[in-house]
Amino acid sequence: MKELIIGNHVSFKKDTQLLGSVNEELSYGGNTFMFYTGAPQNTARCEINDIITEEAINLMKQSGIDLENVVVHAPYIINPANTANLEFSTNFLKQEIDRVEKLGVKRLVLHPGSHVNLGVDVAIKNIIFVLNECITPSTKVDICLETMAGKGSEVGRTFEELKEIIDGVKYNDKVKVCLDTCHLNDAGYDIANFDKILDEFDKVIGIDKIGCVHINDSKNTLGSHKDRHENIGIGTIGFDNLLNVIYNKRLEDVPKILETPYVGETDDSKEKNYPPYKFEIEMIRDKKFNEHLLEDIRSFYK
């Protein structure tokens, strides 16, 4: 059996850049990671420092992290579905692709966006326009469109919508999909039948188009269209169903990324201080749910 490719969302700071991200991941014990090149909710971005990048890549080689499996997430403020933002989205995405290529990263996750009140058809045309402006034959990164929960007017809540976008893009060998288990659940795809979901995905889009999987439990029920992530094994999807995704044979070459919430001092504390990833990765590798997950996280970081 191949080695599990697992990691989580880490930070990317102006001063330490990719090296800081690698060091953070090593502290959790993962062998891949995902980051935003700046804050997810804005588009302010720093210059990529090639010396730091080289140092980070050397450290990755020593530590068994394959750059091919590393993922960047585009900021969710860009909304390629919305006509009013087309120029801004296009320009930002072009710059983001350049930054990601400069870092040597091969996978860029993008939310298809929300149509606001334009309707899905116009939104899909807009997304196709933006992707066609940004993807050229020399693009080296795969754009992974994320499956969405269907909150508000989000586009990409069904495989059929994603397929329509992919079909409209000229160089669509560079367009892939990022499955998110929380979003799938909230959109109405039951993770308890994950093999059936994969069969359906294969029929509509093609299994080789899966470029990344976000592993999250959900705070809400099947089909709730909410999108609120929960720690692994604590939400409505449950540990065993998530393990079936993580260890699925058909996805063994695809990086699995945790985007689960930080844990607070108490169950209802407002401030979420402690990263859950070290303990979540541990129980995933052990294939056994840790009944004391939250307590263990709190006492480790306190």
Binding site for Zn ion (CB under 5 A): 180, 214
Measured CA to CA, the distance from residue 302 to residue 283 in angstroms comes to 20
CA distance 234 to 294: 10
Nearest CB to Zn ion, comparing residues 174 and 214: 214
Which residue, 180 or 280, is less far from Zn ion as judged by CB?
A: 180
Query: Cβ of residue 227: shortest distance to Zn ion, in angstroms?
Result: 9
Rounded to a whole number of angstroms, the minimum distance from the CB of residue 285 to Zn ion is 21
Say if residues 44 and 55 touch (Cβ distance below 8 Å): no
- DSSP code, position 76: T
Residue 25 or 186: the one with the smaller Cβ distance to Zn ion is 186
Q: Compute the least distance from the CB of residue 154 to Zn ion, in Å.
A: 12
Strands 107-110 and 71-73, by their bridges, are parallel
Specify the residue, 180 or 217, whose C-beta has the smaller distance to Zn ion. Answer: 180
Shortest distance (Å) from residue 182 CB to Zn ion = 7
Nearest by Cα to 73 from 108, 99, 49: 108
Q: Which residue has the tokens 């995704």?
A: 245
- Looking at the Cβ atoms of 128 and 212, the one nearer to Zn ion is 212
114 forms bridges with which residues in the sheet?
154
- 209 or 214: whose CB is closer to Zn ion? 214
DSSP symbols for 219-288: SS-TT-----EE-TTTSSS-HHHHHHHHT-GGGTTS-EEE-PPPEESSTT-S-EEE--HHHHHHHHHHTS
By beta carbon distance, the residue nearest Zn ion is 214
CB of 259 to Zn ion, least distance (A): 5
Look at residues 299, 276, 263, 262 and name the one whose alpha carbon lies nearest to residue 30: 276
Residues 6+ apart with CB under 8 A from 16: 23, 52
| Residue 215 Cβ vs Zn ion, minimum distance, rounded to whole Å | 9
Residue (154 or 180) nearer to Zn ion, CB: 180
Shortest separation between residue 235's beta carbon and Zn ion, angstroms:
14
What are the angstrom distances between the C-alpha of 279 and each of 8, 20, 228, 237? 12, 20, 20, 18
